[in-house]
A = this chain, B = another copy of it.
Amino acid sequence: MTQVPVFDFVVTTPLRMLGNLDAILGKAQAAIADGKLTEEQVLKAKLAPDMFDFTRQVQLVTDFAKSPAARLAGVDVPKFPDEETTLAALRDRVGRVADFVRGFQPAQFEGAAERQVTIPLRDRTLEMQGDQYLLSFAQPNFYFHYTTAYALLRHLGLDIGKRDFIGG
C-alpha cells in the first residue's frame, strides 16, 4: 500500500500519545508529592510571558485529539469548558478525550480525505479538505501543544525523557 488509513492518524496514534501524556502528568504529580515542584508552578508554567501556560497547553492537546477524529468522521466536536485547576482534573480531561477517541470505528472515516472541514478559530473560520486539515493543521497542532507541555516540564526539571513522550 502507498496509503495509510486516516483512522490510524486520528485514533490509534493520538490514543497512544494521550496515554503517554497521562503518564507524564502522573510523574508531575509524583514530583509534587515529593516536594520537588508545586502544583501552581506546573499549572502556570510558561517559556515566555505571552504564551499559553501549561494548563492551556494540555487543554489544547486534548482539543487537537478530539476535534480531528470528530471532524473527519463528520460528527459534532464535544465541547469541554476550559476550567481545570488541578493536575488531577487535567488527567481526567485526557481520559475523557481518550474515551471519546476510542469510540470511533475505521468505517466512520469513509470519505474523510475529501470531506470539507470547517474550523472555527478565534478571529476567522478556516475551510479545508479533510486530508489537508489532517496534514497541515490537526497533526502539527497536536504535536505542537503536546511537545510544548512536555518542554515546560523539562524546563521545570522533571525527570522525563523522549521515551516518555514517544512511548514504548
- A residues with a Cβ closer than 8 A to B are 1-9, 12-13, 16-17, 47-48, 51, 106-107, 109-114, 131, 134-137, 139-141, 143-144, 147-148, 150-151, 154-155, 157, 162, 165-167
Sampled A-B contacts (29; CB under 8 Å): A1-B3, A1-B112, A1-B113, A2-B7, A2-B106, A2-B107, A2-B109, A2-B113, A3-B4, A3-B6, A4-B9, A4-B131, A4-B135, A8-B135, A13-B135, A13-B140, A17-B140, A47-B151, A47-B154, A48-B155, A48-B157, A139-B139, A140-B165, A140-B166, A141-B166, A143-B144, A144-B166, A147-B147, A147-B151
Chief secondary structure at chain A's binding surface: helix
List the B side residues contacting A143 at CB < 8 Å: 139-140, 143-144, 147
Q: Contacts A2-B6, A144-B165, A162-B144 given; indicate if A48 touches B154 (C-beta within 8 A).
A: yes
